[in-house]
Structure 1
Amino acid sequence: MIRFLLPVLVFVMPFLPSSPFQGDFVDEMSALFKAGNSREIAKSFSPSVELSLINEEDVYSKLQAEQILRDFFTKHPAVNSTVIHLINTNPNIRFGILSLATKNGKFRVSITSKKTANVFLITSLRIEAEK
């Protein structure tokens, strides 16, 4: 039986989607947060982003949000980031929660993104002190 299944699997595997969902988007964001790379994170921002950073919350343009995030990483250099929660059941929306460790403390990062033209764009980003 196994001898029969192995060739079938080898033949069928290339035709299967590598990932039924693009859940890797949140993993990619986690890696960028770990690197403290505000420029690369901002490439995934939508034209306007709802940004909540510690105690300040507002809607910013992509460029303004990048600058605010850059200032955050300057004050809080990233050390590590891990995905602690991921929702990818809707093919057009991704939501993830990261645990971000910095030299000045731990933060909880919530990312909401929507698919636009086959690309996920961050519409909301919330960074708050981890309790």
Structure 2
Amino acid sequence: MKNHINKNLLVFLLVPLLIMATTASNLDSIAQAIRTGNAKELASFFDTTIEIKINDKEGAYSKAQAEQVVKDFFVKNPPKGFSFMHDGESGGSAYYAIGSLTTANGKFRTYVYLKKKGESYLIQELSFENE
């Protein structure tokens, strides 16, 4: 009986750690894609439909359309640096991160909202707003 309780406790403690490790790995890859202006790599983390906001322009796009929107943004605003400043869990099956993107045309506050789909966390919302 005691052994059964210990196994349950171990599972209870390890599952959140595994989720955080997976999300952290995704965030590292997402940050690298933004830092290098790689819209194709960033799009690999998009869900089938994604909301994108760039300053005052926002809309819902298919994965392919969203990749093109982000590619156009990176062409107009070549990245010079990027880092996430804050991230956290939202509601158990979602995650968010806030970062700062430095481009040739200024700084953009960046917001990424991911939701768990199957075994992966996929981007549902992405925004770039002038700082």
Q: Give the structure with higher Rg (CA).
A: 1
- Distance in 2, matches of 1:89 and 1:70, equals 28
- Distance in 2, matches of 1:68 and 1:47, equals 15
Structure 1: gaps of 5 or more residues: 1-15
- Distance in 2, matches of 1:118 and 1:92, equals 11
- Distance in 1, matches of 2:57 and 2:110, equals 14
User: How large is the Cα RMSD of the aligned pairs?
Assistant: 1.6
The structural deviation recorded for 1:85 is: 1.0
Structure 2: gaps of 5 or more residues: 1-13
Residue 115 of structure 1 is matched in structure 2 by 116
Residue 87 of structure 1 is matched in structure 2 by 88
Residues paired across the two proteins, number: 114
Residue 72 of structure 1 is matched in structure 2 by 73
Contact kept? 1:76, 1:102, Cα under 8 Å:
yes
Residue 45 of structure 1 is matched in structure 2 by 46
The structural deviation recorded for 1:26 is: 2.1
The structural deviation recorded for 1:88 is: 2.8
Q: Whose helix fraction is larger, Structure 1's or Structure 2's? A: 2
- The share of aligned pairs that are identical, in percent, is 33
Structure 2 residue matching 1:70: 3-state secondary structure: helix
Comparing 78-87 with 20-29, greater Cα deviation is found at 20-29
